[in-house]
Structure 1
């Protein structure tokens, strides 16, 4: 029977991030096993975050950022500088390749292509059984496996994106188009544009919906947007991505056992009202490592103010009941406060006083409606 100090059920962003921080701690010599059905196959993903400087885990060779953003609705445009913050972009291939290059020659770290079927914890260890027939003993399991089907009816952020190169100048590389609302839809949908140069950009179509959409319908929306905004143009698609992010405050990890620690989206590390996850993964991994270093056997918990769950649920309630109101809500939010303050609020880095200042400036009729019919999502 194989024995490891730590076993990872999943080798995605959260798993590799935690390995990175373990390697920079007193636990750097731990025997580690990462188990993933895809092995080390790298997914096509784009991660963004805002911060004053790039995170330490961000590969220095692939840093790209913007210092301003804009929101659009038809002919209306709302450009905003983001103060001391920068909006950073990171491609999953750069991230994975950087960490895999670090660990490839470390004999105490193993990655296998297999699937975790069963976890059986005891007071001192966890028994891991895999689809490939392995039985493994470990002191801790970090579980980032996809969530179960109980969340199928929850609201989802569904998106498809293309990175394209054009034959002539089409884009303004100085600012991110955070949200471009092209129509008064009964659903909440928008386009997102990251311009890397005048001839290269990542463009995404995003929809909030309970139902999964066909990839064909999502592609059609993206093609129609490109034609509407830029007219007939020659472009080459160099990168494609798509995804579904659950938008719910119910992603708090189930209390299974202190030796089994859910991480990533499975650990509730996705911001419910926006879907941003990458920076939360980094923050929470850095809180998890000292807990592991201490040898604690109590349940690992990340304190989070209940008021942010409340804010998320107010917004998600609007998204569920009155999705056509979200466009004006987001525009109003960025119109009445600095973009820097709004971004700090969305990343839960504001004080209660700062939040009151932001919220007091809003057209709060829709918030009152949501509060009167408040429920958790």
Structure 2
């Protein structure tokens, strides 16, 4: 049985970013690190998007970035620059290839393609089992997400950001490849929060995605019919080829994921609640959480002490309370923000980087009654 200082379960964004951060820091040069994942990470199984100012550390592996965004609601149509921000897209396969190559260069990190079937914490270590091996670790970082654990509790609402997207190639120029459609709520809402999301790679190629913030997923045909309708009715395009498809489902909840952590086991990534509860954006927040975690590990404190709940947790909770009870209000809330405030301020707020004064500007732009009701019910 092999023993390690750290075992990382899952080689997604959280696992690979953490492994790279540890491998790149001399403080951890003497630590033995094992990464376990059931897949070989040779498939383009997901797309991550985020925004940041100017250039960033992931720019070398970006698939595309956009200086402008488009937002549409019931009354608002907004095409705008988001400078100094860029909206950026990273393909899973490009990320895996880059970071796996980097990690293989670290002499203290071992990669193994094995499926974890059990994690058991003992008095002085954690036992991690696969179908063929057992490993022990002083500390374990787990990115295996258990949806049922979240859904069976009733204290915090659980919505889903669920989507289906087509990578399409058109016969004629259709898209503005300098502008990403951040949210287009001008489509039928049908009692939910529904929008189209378009990432153009050229004038004839784009990812067109139908996205919902709601409790239940749809039948596959409903997503695809909505995309076809959008291409025809909104973009005037009927002659196109579907190159690829992608689907996804991200939990949207203020559930206290950190309560599942122990002194030796910590959940990371979506399993650790690192997805932004009110939007589902995960990648950039994961990058920030990894940086904080690395500094925390240097203090040799129990993993259960890592998490701190801040003001944005409460903001997200109120929005999710509203959408859980009145799911159709999403369009009016986001439209009010984009109608009254700059996209730069909104992105800064969603990135959890605003001052109290800036928070108040965002809050004052939102419809008052739903938030006051949600606050009242949480207090009383």
The residue aligned with 1:45 is 46
After TM superposition, the score normalised by the length of structure 2 is 0.91
Q: SS at the partner of 2:243?
A: strand
Q: SS at the partner of 1:204?
A: strand
Q: SS at the partner of 1:155?
A: strand
Q: Distance in 2 between matches of 1:278 and 1:298?
A: 21
Q: Is the 8 A contact 1:39 1:111 kept in 2?
A: no
- Offset at 1:301? 1.3
1:99–1:215 Cα change, 3 Å:
same
Worse overlay, 105-114 or 161-170: 105-114
1:42–1:8 Cα change, 3 Å:
farther
Counterpart pick for 1:239 among 233, 237, 244? 244
Q: Alpha-carbon deviations, 1:88-138, whole Å to 9, x = none?
A: 1111111111111223455543333322222222443212122x1312111
Q: Distance in 1 between matches of 2:303 and 2:250?
A: 30
The residue aligned with 2:135 is 136
Q: Is the 8 A contact 1:37 1:114 kept in 2?
A: yes
Q: Is the 8 A contact 1:288 1:300 kept in 2?
A: no
- Offset at 1:29? 5.3
Q: SS at the partner of 1:294?
A: coil
Q: SS at the partner of 1:233?
A: coil
Alignment map for 1:114-263 (pairs within 5 Å): 114-130=114-130, 132-152=131-151, 154-181=158-185, 182-263=187-268
Worse overlay, 136-145 or 109-118: 109-118
Q: SS at the partner of 2:45?
A: coil
Q: Distance in 2 between matches of 1:45 and 1:28?
A: 31
Alignment map for 1:1-377 (pairs within 5 Å): 1-26=1-26, 27-28=28-29, 30-56=31-57, 58-62=58-62, 64-73=64-73, 76-106=76-106, 108-130=108-130, 132-152=131-151, 154-181=158-185, 182-297=187-302, 299-305=304-310, 307-374=311-378
Q: Is the 8 A contact 1:30 1:108 kept in 2?
A: yes
Q: Distance in 1 between matches of 2:93 and 2:379?
A: 39
After TM superposition, the score normalised by the length of structure 1 is 0.91
Cα RMSD (Å): 2.2
Worse overlay, 106-115 or 160-169: 106-115
Q: Distance in 1 between matches of 2:209 and 2:133?
A: 41
Q: Distance in 2 between matches of 1:25 and 1:300?
A: 22
Q: Distance in 2 between matches of 1:256 and 1:71?
A: 39
Q: Alpha-carbon deviations, 1:206-260, whole Å to 9, x = none?
A: 0122223232322222222212223343323333211111110005223442111
1:148–1:184 Cα change, 3 Å:
closer
Q: Alpha-carbon deviations, 1:10-67, whole Å to 9, x = none?
A: 11111011111112102245332222222434342111111113432x1515352222
Uncovered stretches (5+) of structure 1, i.e. residues with no partner: none
Q: Distance in 1 between matches of 2:93 and 2:7?
A: 23
Q: Is the 8 A contact 2:265 2:303 kept in 1?
A: no
Q: Distance in 1 between matches of 2:234 and 2:200?
A: 14
Q: SS at the partner of 2:308?
A: coil
Q: Distance in 2 between matches of 1:198 and 1:2?
A: 53
Q: Distance in 2 between matches of 1:290 and 1:13?
A: 18
Uncovered stretches (5+) of structure 2, i.e. residues with no partner: 153-157
Q: Distance in 2 between matches of 1:282 and 1:195?
A: 25
Q: Distance in 1 between matches of 2:195 and 2:369?
A: 23
Q: Distance in 2 between matches of 1:74 and 1:164?
A: 26
